[in-house]
Structure 1
Amino acid sequence: MNKDKVQNVVIVGGGTAGWVSAALLSRVLGKTLNITLVESEQIGTVGVGEATIPPIITINNALGITEKEFINETKATIKLGIEFENWKQQGDSYMHAFGGIGKNFPFCDFYHYWLKAKNLGDTSDFWDFSLNYQAAKHNKFSKSPKIEGTNMPGLTYAYHFDAGMYAQFLRKYSEAKGVKRIEGMVCNVNLNDDNGFVESITLKDGSCIDGDLFIDCTGLAGLLIEKALNTGYVDWSHWLPCDRAMAIPCESVAPITPYTKSIAHDSGWQWRIPLQHRIGNGLVYSSKHMTDDQAKELLLKNLDGKPLAEPKIIPFRTGRRRKQWHKNVVSIGLSSGFLEPLESTSIHLIQTAAIRLIKLFPHQGIKDTEVDEFNRQTKIEIEQIRDFIILHYKVNERDDSKFWRECQRMDIPESLQRKIELFKTTGKLFREQDDLFTEIAWQQVLMGQGIIPEDHNALADALTEQQILDLMQNLKILIDRSVKGMASHEGFINTVSAT
C-alpha cells in the first residue's frame, strides 16, 4: 500500500466552481475516490456567472446531461455571441459571434478575401457573412449541423443560464454519484508541521474533516490557497482597470434575444444576459473613476425591466494566483484568479481546471512534476485570455472620458502588442497554441474596434476580381436564405420546455 495514495478529496466551497468540480470528479473518478464537499449557506456565492461559451456543450455531454434537461433545470436560453456597444466609439457596435465567418479556404482565412473585395468597392459588412450574427440579430435559432445544400457548418452556440440553478442541479447530480455534502463554515485550516500540507479543516461546530487533496472553491476569499498557504497573487489591474462589479436581475422583456450584450459606459461596461425568467444585469467599473452611488444610478437607469432585487456590489482585483496548485491544494474558480466576465470565460475556466486536474490526478501521491505541469498550463491559458480582454480596452477610439483615454495610452503585454501590429500592417493573424479564442474571434474584435489591416494575404489574389465579388454576393444570399428558414429563438426554447 502506498501511504501517500490520494483517496480522500475535500472540496471546500460550493457554487458553480465547487459543484462543477464535484460533478466531473465523481463522473470520472468517483469509483476510486471519496469526495466530500463542504459549503455554508450562510456565506453564499457570487452567483452572477450566467453566460458561457460553446465548450460547455462538450462538458454537458461528458456528464451525460441532455440539452432538454439542462435548459429546463437552469432556465437557459441560447447564446450565439456577444454584442459590444460603444466600445470603439459612442454609437458603434459589433459582435464577437461564435462559429465561422464566410467560407473556409486552404491556408487563407475568409477575411482576406473580404478585405480584397472591400478594396474593389464591395460594401458588404464583415458580419453579413456570419451565420451566427445574422441569426442572433433576427432572433432565430436552428440546430441543423450544416447550412442546407452545402458543407458549411450551421450555428455554433452556448447558453445563458441561472448559475444558482446550475449549481443546485449539479449538486443533485453529484450526490447521486456518491459525493458527500457537509453543511458548515470553516473556522480553521490545519497544516502539517513538516511539509506545510493541509491535513484537515475544522468547522464551526467543531467537526474535523481530513483529506489527502483539497480543492479550494472559496471564491475571492481564497481560504486555503491564500489565507492558509500564502501562495501570492500576480496583479493585473494596471492592464484591466476595473475593480468593482454591481449585479442586479430584472424582469424579462420580449423578445428573449439569443446573445449577450456588453455596453460600454464612461468608466466601465454593462452586461445584459437574457434568461427565460429574468434578465441578468451588471456593471463592471473602476472605483477611481466612478463611485458606487453613481454606478447604482447608471445601472438602474439602463435596465429593460423592473428590478427584482437590490444591487449587489462585488469588489475584485484582476490577476491570478502565483500557483493555482500549491502543495496539496488546487484552487478552482475565483480562488485561482479573477478575469472580468467580458468574454464569459469564468465558468469555462472552472471546467478546464477540473479537467486538467483529472488528467494530472495524483493518485499515487502528489508529485512536483504534475503540480508544475498543472500550473504551467493554467498560466498559459489565463494569460492568453487576459490578452484578449485587454485588447477590448486598449484599441478603443473614445475620447469622451478620462477612463477610455487612459486605456488607449496604457502599456500592454508584448505578446498582445506583437499580435496587434502584425494584424494592422499585414492582415496576418496567428492563433497561439491552445489559445481559447480562434483567429475568427480575434478578427472580429480587432476589426470591430477599428483596426482594419493595411494589406491582405497574397493567396486572396488567386481569385479574379469578378470571382471575389461573386463570392461575396453568393455567400450573402446563402446565409440570408438560411436564416429566413430558421425557427424563432423563443419558439425553440418553448418547444424544448414543453416536451
Structure 2
Amino acid sequence: MSDKIIKDVVVLGGGTAGWMTAALLAKVLGKSINITLVESDKIGTVGVGEATIPPILNFNQALGLDEREFLQATKGTIKLGIQFEDWWRKGESYMHAFGSIGKNFPFCDFHHFWNRSRKQGNDASLWEYSLNYQAARHNKFAPLAQIPGTSLPGISYAYHFDAGLYARFLRRYAESKGVKRIEGTVSEVKVDPHSGFVDGLVLENGQLVESGLYVDCSGMAALLIEKTLGTGYEDWSHWLPCDRAIAVPSAALTPLVPYTRSIAHEAGWQWRIPLQHRTGNGMVYSSRHWSDEEAQGALLENLDAEPLDEPRLIRFRTGRRRKQWNRNVVSIGLSSGFLEPLESTSIHLVQSAATRLIKCFPHAGIRPQEVAEFNRQSRVEMERIRDFIILHYKANQRRDSDFWRDCERMDIPASLEEKIELFRHTGKVFRDYDDLFTEVAWQQVLIGQGVIPEDHHTIADSLTGEQLADLMSSLKTLVDGTVRKMPEHEKFLPPEV
C-alpha cells in the first residue's frame, strides 16, 4: 500500500453522490486536505433519488444547513414513512412509519403487548399506536417541540426533495468551503504499473488531474473502481429480481401528503413521491416478467396527474462491488453497487459511505487494515439492507402473477430466513450490528407482510387483562389527541420563491 501522506482528494462525478461527498469532506477535513471535484455537464445523472430516511437530518445538521432554506431550494416536503399498497395481498396496505410505536418497555417491545391484546379481542392495528402513521394519514406534521401538552417521545421524519436541486444546493455550499470544481470529461485514466494505483485523470482538453486518493462517484459507469481497476461485482439479482425502472415526473397535486407511496403491480412496483413542484413517479420491474412497453403502459395508466416529460428507462443489476475501496479508489453512490429504491436507501448509502471515509481517512498513507475495515463495514451494511428489501418480496400471499409466485418460492439468505422464523414463532426480532433498520422497522414490515407472531414475550403477561386494555386505550387516545393538535403538513413548508 501507499505510504504517501494524503493531502489531495479528487472526487470524480457530480450529482447527489459527488456533491454530498465533497460537501462533507470540505466541512470536516477542509482545513487538512484539498478537494477537487471533476464533472462534465455532458454526462447526465440517474437523479431519481427523491426520497430519504431520517439520518439525512444528521447529514444536513452536520453541514450546518438551515432546514427552511434547504426545503425551499430543493422543493422539498416532509416524509413520515412509506406506504406499501398491494404488497402482501391485493387490496391490503400498511406503512413502514418512522419513529416509535406505542410505549417503550424495558426488555420487551410494544408489539408484544399489542399482540397479546389482539388475542384478547382488540381489533386495532399496530399502526393505531404510531404517531408517525396517524400524522401521515391525516396530512399533519410538526416537530413535537411545537406541540404543547404531549408526553410522546417525538416524531421522526425525513424528506422528499428534487435530487438535482439538492446537488446544486450542495455544490454552492461545497465551493464556498473551498472545493475546486473542474469541468471536463475524462479521456484516460493513468495507472501506476508497479502499485496498480490510479495515478491521474487525463481530461479531453489534455489537463492532468492528480491526487493520492480518488473517490469514484461516476455512477453506474464505475469508471475508476471497475473499468480501470476491475474490482468485480457480487450479483444479487437471484434475490432481487427487478432489473429496470421507468421514471417520469407528473404535475404536483394538493394536498401534499407527507409520505412515499409504493404500489405493487403485476411484475414490480410503482413509486409516487410528492414534491412541491411536481410528483416523482417510477415503475421498478422485472424484464423477465414484463416488457419495457408493458411497464411503461402500466406506469402511465397509473399516474394521478399529467406527465411533465417523456418516460426515461433505467437499467440496473442489483448487487455490490466486491470492494468498495480498492487501492487508492473509494466508490461512493451507484459506482459501489445498486439496491432498488424500495426503502429509500440510495442517498443514505452515499451519506454513510462519505461518513465512513472520513472515519477511516488515510493520514500517513493508505493502510490495508484500514481499507479492510472500511470494506467490511460497507459489505455488512449492504447485506443488512438487502435482506430487509428481500423480505418485502418473499413474504407475500399474491398468487395473481408469475412474478409474485416466483418471489414467494425463491430461496433467501439464511440470515433473513432465521430472522423471519424467529419472529413468526416468538415475536422476537433483534437488530444486527450495523443494521440500518431498527427493530420497529422490521416489526412493521413483517407484520404488514402477514408474518404475525404466534407468541408474545412473557413480560406482556405482567399486566392484567384490564390493565392491558386500559394501556391500549390510553395510548390510542394520546396519539389521536396529539395528531389533532398538529397543523397541516403544507403549513410547515416554506413559501415558494
String of CA shifts for 1:365-397, please: whole Å, max 9, x gaps. Answer: 100011000000000001000000000000010
**2:224 counterpart residue number:** 224
**What is the DSSP-based 3-state SS (H/G/I as helix, E as strand, rest coil) of the residue aligned with 1:436?**
coil
The answer to whether the Cα contact below 8 Å between 2:72 and 2:496 also exists between their aligned partners in 1 is no
Distance 1:362 1:383 in 2: 25
C-alpha displacement of 1:145:
3.7
Distance 2:150 2:41 in 1: 52
Give 2:345's aligned amino acid: T
Q: Give the TM-score normalised by structure 1.
A: 0.98
C-alpha displacement of 1:355:
0.5
C-alpha displacement of 1:31:
1.2
**2:257 counterpart residue number:** 257
The answer to whether the Cα contact below 8 Å between 2:333 and 2:346 also exists between their aligned partners in 1 is yes
**2:96 counterpart residue number:** 96
Give 1:447's aligned amino acid: I
The answer to whether the Cα contact below 8 Å between 2:150 and 2:482 also exists between their aligned partners in 1 is no
**1:162 counterpart residue number:** 162
**2:343 counterpart residue number:** 343
Distance 2:157 2:32 in 1: 35
The answer to whether the Cα contact below 8 Å between 2:332 and 2:353 also exists between their aligned partners in 1 is yes
Give 1:211's aligned amino acid: S
**What is the DSSP-based 3-state SS (H/G/I as helix, E as strand, rest coil) of the residue aligned with 2:144?**
coil
**1:76 counterpart residue number:** 76
String of CA shifts for 1:168-190, please: whole Å, max 9, x gaps. Answer: 00000011111110111111111
C-alpha displacement of 1:66:
1.1
Distance 1:154 1:4 in 2: 48
The answer to whether the Cα contact below 8 Å between 1:11 and 1:18 also exists between their aligned partners in 2 is yes
Is 1:445 aligned to 2:445, yes or no?
Answer: yes
**2:49 counterpart residue number:** 49
Is 1:12 aligned to 2:12, yes or no?
Answer: yes
The answer to whether the Cα contact below 8 Å between 2:324 and 2:330 also exists between their aligned partners in 1 is yes
**2:422 counterpart residue number:** 422
C-alpha displacement of 1:154:
2.1
The answer to whether the Cα contact below 8 Å between 1:68 and 1:497 also exists between their aligned partners in 2 is no
C-alpha displacement of 1:149:
3.7
The answer to whether the Cα contact below 8 Å between 2:377 and 2:434 also exists between their aligned partners in 1 is no
Distance 1:231 1:145 in 2: 48
Distance 2:443 2:31 in 1: 45
Q: Which runs of 4+ in 1 moved over 6 A?
A: none
Give 2:84's aligned amino acid: F
Map 1:176-191; keep pairs closer than 5 Å: 176-191=176-191
C-alpha displacement of 1:364:
1.0
Distance 2:107 2:150 in 1: 21
**1:403 counterpart residue number:** 403
Distance 1:65 1:147 in 2: 24
**2:278 counterpart residue number:** 278
User: After alignment, is 232-241 or 299-308 more displaced?
Assistant: 299-308
**What is the DSSP-based 3-state SS (H/G/I as helix, E as strand, rest coil) of the residue aligned with 1:26?**
helix
The answer to whether the Cα contact below 8 Å between 2:319 and 2:338 also exists between their aligned partners in 1 is yes
The answer to whether the Cα contact below 8 Å between 2:243 and 2:287 also exists between their aligned partners in 1 is yes
**1:211 counterpart residue number:** 211
C-alpha displacement of 1:255:
0.9
User: After alignment, is 427-436 or 230-239 more displaced?
Assistant: 427-436
String of CA shifts for 1:90-130, please: whole Å, max 9, x gaps. Answer: 11100000000000111100000000101111111110000
**1:462 counterpart residue number:** 462
**1:497 counterpart residue number:** 495
The answer to whether the Cα contact below 8 Å between 1:145 and 1:155 also exists between their aligned partners in 2 is no
C-alpha displacement of 1:148:
4.7
| RMSD of aligned alpha carbons | 1.2
The answer to whether the Cα contact below 8 Å between 1:146 and 1:153 also exists between their aligned partners in 2 is no
Distance 1:222 1:166 in 2: 22
Give 2:75's aligned amino acid: K
Q: Give the TM-score normalised by structure 2.
A: 0.98
Distance 1:147 1:324 in 2: 44
Map 1:308-323; keep pairs closer than 5 Å: 308-323=308-323
The answer to whether the Cα contact below 8 Å between 2:147 and 2:486 also exists between their aligned partners in 1 is no
Give 1:113's aligned amino acid: F
The answer to whether the Cα contact below 8 Å between 1:82 and 1:95 also exists between their aligned partners in 2 is yes
**1:113 counterpart residue number:** 113
The answer to whether the Cα contact below 8 Å between 2:40 and 2:184 also exists between their aligned partners in 1 is yes
Distance 1:176 1:492 in 2: 28
**1:241 counterpart residue number:** 241
Any stretches of 5+ residues in structure 1 without a counterpart? none
Give 1:324's aligned amino acid: Q
**What is the DSSP-based 3-state SS (H/G/I as helix, E as strand, rest coil) of the residue aligned with 1:487?**
coil
**1:125 counterpart residue number:** 125
**What is the DSSP-based 3-state SS (H/G/I as helix, E as strand, rest coil) of the residue aligned with 2:313?**
strand
* Alignment CA distance shift 1:437-1:3 (3 Å): closer
**2:291 counterpart residue number:** 291
The answer to whether the Cα contact below 8 Å between 1:320 and 1:336 also exists between their aligned partners in 2 is yes
**What is the DSSP-based 3-state SS (H/G/I as helix, E as strand, rest coil) of the residue aligned with 2:495?**
helix
* Alignment CA distance shift 1:373-1:3 (3 Å): closer
Any stretches of 5+ residues in structure 2 without a counterpart? none
The answer to whether the Cα contact below 8 Å between 1:9 and 1:36 also exists between their aligned partners in 2 is yes
String of CA shifts for 1:115-159, please: whole Å, max 9, x gaps. Answer: 010111111111000000000010000112487545421211000
**2:385 counterpart residue number:** 385
Give 2:157's aligned amino acid: Y
**1:332 counterpart residue number:** 332
**2:135 counterpart residue number:** 135
Give 2:119's aligned amino acid: N
C-alpha displacement of 1:206:
1.5
Distance 2:119 2:82 in 1: 28
The answer to whether the Cα contact below 8 Å between 1:147 and 1:154 also exists between their aligned partners in 2 is no
The answer to whether the Cα contact below 8 Å between 2:257 and 2:489 also exists between their aligned partners in 1 is yes
Distance 1:325 1:446 in 2: 34
C-alpha displacement of 1:498:
6.8
Distance 2:60 2:83 in 1: 25
C-alpha displacement of 1:23:
0.1
Distance 1:444 1:160 in 2: 21
Distance 2:218 2:266 in 1: 32
**What is the DSSP-based 3-state SS (H/G/I as helix, E as strand, rest coil) of the residue aligned with 1:156?**
coil
